[in-house]
Each structure stands twice: as C-alpha cells, then as structure tokens.
Amino acid sequence: MAEDDLELRRLQLRRLMRMALAAESKKPAEPERREPTADEIVRSRLGERGEEVLNAAYEQYPEATAKIVEQLAKLIKEGQIDTVIDGYMLYSLFRNLGLRVRIETRIKYLKRGEVKDLSEFFRQKL
C-alpha cells in the first residue's frame, strides 16, 4: 500500500512537471526593456540632413561629438528640446562650439534632362 502511494505521488509530480513546462513554453518571451542610448534619442529627433551632419561629426570629432550627443539627449529627456533638429541647427551648434564639421557638398545642374555636377559642366566648357 505504501508502495502504491509512492507510485501515485510520483505520477502526480511528473504530471505537474509536464504542466509547468507546458505553461512556461506557452508564455510569450517578455521583450527586454532597455533604456535607449543617447545616440538613439538624438537620432530620433533629427530632421532634414541632420543624420548626415551627425555622421560627419562622428567621423571627424568622435569624442567631442559623443559628449555633445549625451548633452543633447539629456536635454531631450528633460523636455527642454521638443523640436526637430534639422541639419542646419546641428551644424550651427557644432560651429558655435568650435567644431568645423566638413560636409561633402555637390552642386548639380539640370540641362536638357541631364543632371550633371558643376565641375563636369566647367570641364566641358574649358
């Protein structure tokens, strides 16, 4: 009789373990909630050509740009900056802080349905 009780108990434990495993596998994986990085916060607020200016600044002044981005993210989190930061505003900020960010610029013209660089135009004229 004691042996029957042990066998019954063992079967119950096995069934409970199977149920626990099934319940655990059915539970959707909880997505990891992580704090967005300062770079992600700032990039989410960048507007027209802002991404281009920020990438150029990171290439030319990585350490200084990282510090500036941290401060911008802090201001965005605090709600002091609530507008979209376009490329001109970001470029002006870097210039005011003494960082001369060089951005690749091209002047193109359209003539008879063709788009050409201005340098190409001058080469043809000379």
| 3-state SS record for 20-48 | HHHHHHHCCCCCCCCCCCHHHHHHHCECC
Provide the 3-class DSSP secondary structure of residue 109. strand
Q: CB–CB of 87/52 below 8 Å?
A: yes
Structural domain boundaries in the chain:
36-126
Q: Is the pTM of this model over 0.75?
A: no
pLDDT tens-digit map of 3-32: 777 787 888 888 888 888 877 777 666 677
